[in-house]
Amino acid sequence: MSSPASRSRDLRSADSLVITLIGTGLQADALRAVAEAVADGGWCQQEERWLSLPGAARGCVEWRVCPDDTADADPAAADLRDRLRGQSSALGVDIALQVDDLLRCHRRLIVFDMDSTLVEAEVIDELARAAGSWEQVSGITERAMRGELEFADSFRERLATLRGLSEHHLPTIADGLVISPGAATLVATLKAAGYRSAIVSGGFEFFARRLATALGIDDVFANTLAIVDGRVTGEAQGRIIDGQRKAELLRTIAGSLQLSNEQVIAVGDGANDLPMLGIAGLGVAYRAKPVVRAAADQAITHSGLDSILFLLGIPERHWCTAASASDI
């Protein structure tokens, strides 16, 4: 018999699923449209639970659904996912579909990408702006995040344009980074619930460590920005953290904590995040490129990072208000 962990993401064999709707547009018409899509797919609603606070601008409702016994054939969960993704795009709300099992609400580790995930910018683009190579670098970054370029090669190409940049620019750039909405609340709440946290980034350790300190994140794995005589060398130092390396690090961190991959949440936005999103028990594409949203199991596009707490079934009344984390 397969273990609960091995079944937790297999929608095909699930006889009970959880749909989570999140957004500012959860009015009666929107809920009715989603309910009709569920029914048309051969599923029926068994339970409803509101996770958002009464009167909150951003609402969240959780439905447990099961196959409709009156349907002519067993409904396909993949078809339901496609229907829900269509409704998400049409209504401008986030809709998640997960197996209704024990592990959905009991992960133990969260692993974050940094650039355009925990912070709103791509740090290498900001470094390039200071070095006078922003126009060249930003286009390469965009293509790399869409998966059109191999990450390690594109990273080396962008890094080379930073040669000669003074290290004095780094604190100024760090101070200007904006932490993504909901990040501080997400980390604080999961820390209170006993989670470990880590940044696994294809960006630079200098910025990741400052961010980890600001948010209270436990571990950092990122690339080293090589500096000699106060100037950026423009050369890679050590093994570049690309998509494959991110997946390896997720396994290593989980293993060190005696956790299975199924007990891990991974969050990222770029094509280089897909390997770790794919092996985590809960992989979330956050405000991601279309190719990443399409490939990931779950996506948060219209809400903040704290909406991941809704995917875990944590009611908003239990969320922790984080101390100010505006300084990186």
Residues with catalytic function: 113, 115
Residue 129 CA: distances (Å) to CA of 37, 70, 125, 135: 46, 61, 6, 8
How many helices (H) and strands (E) the chain has is answered by 13, 11
Q: Is 57 exposed, middle or buried (0-12, 13-18, 19+ CB in 10 A)?
A: exposed
Q: Rounded CA gap, 144 and 286, in Å?
A: 16
Contacts with 242 (C-beta within 8 Å, 6 or more apart), sequence order: 151, 152, 155, 202, 272
Task: Check: CB of residue 86 under 8 Å from CB of residue 37.
Answer: yes
The H or E element containing residue 7 is helix 4-7
